[in-house]
Structure 1
Amino acid sequence: MAWTILMAASVSEIIWTYTLKASEGFTRPGIAVLNVAVMVLTTWLLSLATKSLPLGTAYPVWTGVGIVGTVIVGMVVFGEEMNAVKAAAVALIVAGALLLMFAEG
């Protein structure tokens, strides 16, 4: 169950970073309020996951999934470009997150 909560926290983190950009520097009040709410949600979910998962595993996996998801959102929603260096960085992040997950079993 902790891994499911951690993945929900990671998806919430992706939404948080999306709404951070979409708030346009907090000039769009509705999106800004949503951003703060999702930030609280993702932190709460992460704290629940760390009740049973080691912090040294949960936090890097949460961050890694969030980073990869945010890169994808940046490309799909905001038209950001992907290049070989970014692709390699994303691959390394995915590999690191997977290794940490497998280390915990």
Structure 2
Amino acid sequence: MSVAIDVVGGKWRMHLMWVLGAGPRRFGEIRRKLDGVSEKVLTENLRHLEAAGVVHREVFPEVPPRVEYSLTDLGESLRVALLPLEEWGDRHREHVARCELDDSFAGV
């Protein structure tokens, strides 16, 4: 589990996996999907996922250059492994929101 957490841990990486799971995306498209992420943080996270081998960065020889990001086969297998977490979140979203409002997580 620690290997997977090292790859997708942090605020934005799992969200990036979700966005790229829908297909190749350009930087601007990804940024629009991830409301609140800065260019710097998005770039750092994309580089981390690329270095881990789960994201592929393709530069097209055009003027101006076009760059697309997509999941590799390894990234797709990780995205599939993360699906149960997404399903758990969908099932328990309301409960967790209520607990946060009640400060039930205080001290955890």
Normalised by the length of structure 1, the TM-score is: 0.34
Pick the structure with more helix per residue: 1
Query: What TM-score, normalized to structure 2?
Result: 0.33
RCO comparison, higher one (Cα < 8 Å, 6+): 1
Which structure features the higher share of strand residues? 2
